């Protein structure tokens, strides 16, 4: 099936007389005929459901749809994008380990890595996604366990060179984990370019309607854990909490990563979405390919309008020819990037807040990447605690407005911006 068809059909095939739509299986527990049958589930000898803190059929149907869309071999939903990125790293890195990460990543992920996971004993080295090969090489240490980046970074909108980062990771015997939230599998499938693990905040385009917070992890199934046995003991040596099973042996490269993340991390942290949230996410995915086309068309039209406007000092949109990442965007996302644009006016912080106050269609919201056009001034909200110098260091200028083009009529979005710019 092609991607547009997978959006509708992957992950769930109703049998004769069964519900057309994926059923919401709102049940904490599942019934078995014997204790022995249930024991096999607890030993991971048989596949099945026993408790919805670990796995739920509705969540799994949606995870399977996302895995199909990304071209992966296994997937799982998490209760948020934060949980997805935390699990993806913590599944293979322990205290004393190290990760190489792109420096232009979502602020929440940066905080998770730099503050919270650091407290757990995991160190991160941040590299500019456009750094030289020497700088990238120098970031690796003997205890490095993964490389991390975002396809299109939120909010810096840099595009990562997936092949280059994947090759660097593989040369050091570790996987490349990529957060594909802004591109979505409709515009880019990182696994096809060499990435190993894909994560998502489904809260953004995948849900797409401002409705439910969620995340996902998809395994490409190609990373050979056993070939790097010493680096990944959690996958390649016996798990005492499951009677000594070895994930990479029992579930192969296709299934080991997600099975371990479910059996250990979901069991212990319980960051699973409700079946109802999974159902909402599935509704979002059904129209994902149609919506992404419109988000990209609107994003490009708005970016071109802003670039031609004399009150606008700069526009950053990877779909614009003036973007330093235009070539990379064309290579990895020839059909469009996303609907998110960053721009700045002369007059700094104050002018940014002023123009935002005059917008009528675009709403001020701490959100991005959904059907409703919204705007945010990072310097006075998500990045409020940072000084102007710190803002510049993470690619967020004080005057920067993050504009997320929804799926409204583009003429209404442009008229709205025109009247707001006229007033400042
Ligand atoms: C929003 C976001 C996250 C965090 O996701 P939540 O669902 O809000 O927890 C992670 N990565 C990127 C790129 C995001 O935009």
**Is the pLDDT assigned to residue 266 strictly greater than 90?**
yes
Q: What's the predicted TM-score (pTM) here?
A: 0.97
- Ligand 1 centroid to 201 CA: how many Å? 5
Residue 113 has what DSSP assignment? Answer: I
Q: So what's the pLDDT on residue 393?
A: 65
Distance CA 302, CA 307 (A): 9
Name 290's Cβ contacts closer than 8 Å, sequence gap at least 6: 4
Q: So what's the pLDDT on residue 396?
A: 81
Peptide bond into 155 cis (omega under 30): yes
Give the tokens for residue 305: 């309008």
Measured between alpha carbons, how far apart are the two ends of the chain, in Å?
Answer: 50
Cα angle 374-378-380, degrees, rounded to a multiple of 5:
110
> Nearest to residue 270, comparing CAs of 80, 419, 118?
80
Pick the more confident residue, 20 or 393.
Answer: 20
- Ligand 1 centroid to 241 CA: how many Å? 31
- Ligand 1 centroid to 19 CA: how many Å? 32
Alpha helices in 153-274 (DSSP H): 162-171, 184-187, 233-236, 247-260, 267-269
What would you report as the CA-atom Rg of the chain, rounded to the nearest whole angstrom? 22
Name residues contacting ligand 1 (CB within 6 A).
Answer: 80-82, 106, 108-109, 150, 154, 179, 181, 201, 203-204, 213, 215
- Ligand 1 centroid to 87 CA: how many Å? 13
pLDDT band, residue 363 (cuts 50/70/90)? very high
Q: So what's the pLDDT on residue 317?
A: 98
**Is the pLDDT assigned to residue 260 strictly greater than 90?**
yes
Do 242 and 280 contact (CB within 8 A), yes or no?
A: no
**Is the pLDDT assigned to residue 387 strictly greater than 90?**
no
- Ligand 1 centroid to 182 CA: how many Å? 9
For ligand 1, atom 5: residue with the closest CA? 81
CA atoms within 13 A on the CB side of 165: 31
Pick the more confident residue, 33 or 389.
Answer: 33
pLDDT band, residue 310 (cuts 50/70/90)? very high
The SS3 of residue 211 is coil
- Beta bridge partners, 102, equal 127
Neighbour tally for 238: CB within 10 Å: 13
CA dihedral (354, 359, 363, 367) in degrees, to 10, reads -50
Ligand 1 atom at minimal distance to the Cα of residue 105: 13
Ligand 1 atom at minimal distance to the Cα of residue 82: 9
Which residue reads 């993806």 in tokens? 88
Q: So what's the pLDDT on residue 147?
A: 98
User: Average pLDDT in the 216-231 region?
Assistant: 98
The chain-wide mean pLDDT, for the chain, equals: 95
Distance CA 70, CA 352 (A): 37
Minimum mean pLDDT range among 100-109, 137-146, 275-284: 100-109
Assign residue 203 a region (left: φ > 0; alpha: ψ between -120 and 50; beta: otherwise).
Answer: alpha
- Ligand 1 centroid to 317 CA: how many Å? 19
Q: Which structural domains are found in the chain, ordered by start? A: 3-283 (3.40.640.10), 290-422 (3.90.1150.10)
Pick the more confident residue, 17 or 37.
Answer: 17
For ligand 1, atom 2: residue with the closest CA? 201
Q: So what's the pLDDT on residue 41?
A: 87
Residue 273 has what DSSP assignment? Answer: P
β-bridge pairing 401-404 and 340-345: antiparallel
User: Average pLDDT in the 24-53 region?
Assistant: 91
Q: So what's the pLDDT on residue 40?
A: 87
Residue 266 has what DSSP assignment? Answer: I
pLDDT band, residue 46 (cuts 50/70/90)? confident
Q: So what's the pLDDT on residue 291?
A: 98
Q: What is the pLDDT of residues 134-184, one digit of tens each?
A: 999 999 999 999 999 999 999 889 999 999 999 999 999 999 999 999 999
The SS3 of residue 79 is coil
**Is the pLDDT assigned to residue 221 strictly greater than 80?**
yes
Pick the more confident residue, 24 or 392.
Answer: 24
Backbone dihedral angles phi then psi of residue 289, each to the nearest 5 degrees:
-70, -35
For ligand 1, atom 1: residue with the closest CA? 201
Ligand 1 atom at minimal distance to the Cα of residue 182: 13
Minimum mean pLDDT range among 85-94, 258-267, 299-308, 382-391: 382-391
Distance CA 139, CA 125 (A): 6
User: Average pLDDT in the 195-224 region?
Assistant: 98
Distance CA 87, CA 213 (A): 16
């Amino acid at each position: 099936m092609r991607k547009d068809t997978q959006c509708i059909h992957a992950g769930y095939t109703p049998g004769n007389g069964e519900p057309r739509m994926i059923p919401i299986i709102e049940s904490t527990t599942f019934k078995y005929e014997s204790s022995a049958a249930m024991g096999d589930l607890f030993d991971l000898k048989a596949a099945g459901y026993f408790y919805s803190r670990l796995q739920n059929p509705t969540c799994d149907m949606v995870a399977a749809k996302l895995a199909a869309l990304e071209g992966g071999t296994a997937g799982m939903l998490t209760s948020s994008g934060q949980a997805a990125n935390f699990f993806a790293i913590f599944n293979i890195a322990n205290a004393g380990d190290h990760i190489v990460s792109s420096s232009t990543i979502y602020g929440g992920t940066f905080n998770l890595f730099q503050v919270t996971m650091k407290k757990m004993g995991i160190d991160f080295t941040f590299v500019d996604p456009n750094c030289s090969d020497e700088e990238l090489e120098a970031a690796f240490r003997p205890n490095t366990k993964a490389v991390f980046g975002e396809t299109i970074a939120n909010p810096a909108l840099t595009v990562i060179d997936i092949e280059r980062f994947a090759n660097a990771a593989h040369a050091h015997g570790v996987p490349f984990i990529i957060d594909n939230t802004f591109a979505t599998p409709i515009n880019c499938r990182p696994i096809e370019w060499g990435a190993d693990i894909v994560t998502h905040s489904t809260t953004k385009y995948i849900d797409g309607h401002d409705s439910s917070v969620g995340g996902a992890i998809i395994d490409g199934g190609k990373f050979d854990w056993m070939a790097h046995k010493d680096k990944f003991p959690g996958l390649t040596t016996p798990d005492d909490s499951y009677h000594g099973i070895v994930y990479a042996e029992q579930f192969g490269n296709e299934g080991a990563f997600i099975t371990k993340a479910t059996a250990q991390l979901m069991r212990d942290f319980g960051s699973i979405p409700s079946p109802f949230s999974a159902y909402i996410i599935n509704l979002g995915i059904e129209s994902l390919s149609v919506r992404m086309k419109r988000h990209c068309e609107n994003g490009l039209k708005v970016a071109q309008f802003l670039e031609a406007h004399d009150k606008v000092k700069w526009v950053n949109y990877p779909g614009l020819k003036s973007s330093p990442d235009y070539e990379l965007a064309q290579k990895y996302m020839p059909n469009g990037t996303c609907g998110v644009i960053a721009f700045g006016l002369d007059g700094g912080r104050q002018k940014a807040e002023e123009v935002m106050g005059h917008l009528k269609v675009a709403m001020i919201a701490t959100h991005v990447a959904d059907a409703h056009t919204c705007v945010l001034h990072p310097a006075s909200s998500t990045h409020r605690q940072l000084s102007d110098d710190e803002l510049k260091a993470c690619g967020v200028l004080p005057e920067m407005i993050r504009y997320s083009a929804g799926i409204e009529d583009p003429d209404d979005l442009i008229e709205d911006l025109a009247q707001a710019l006229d007033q400042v």
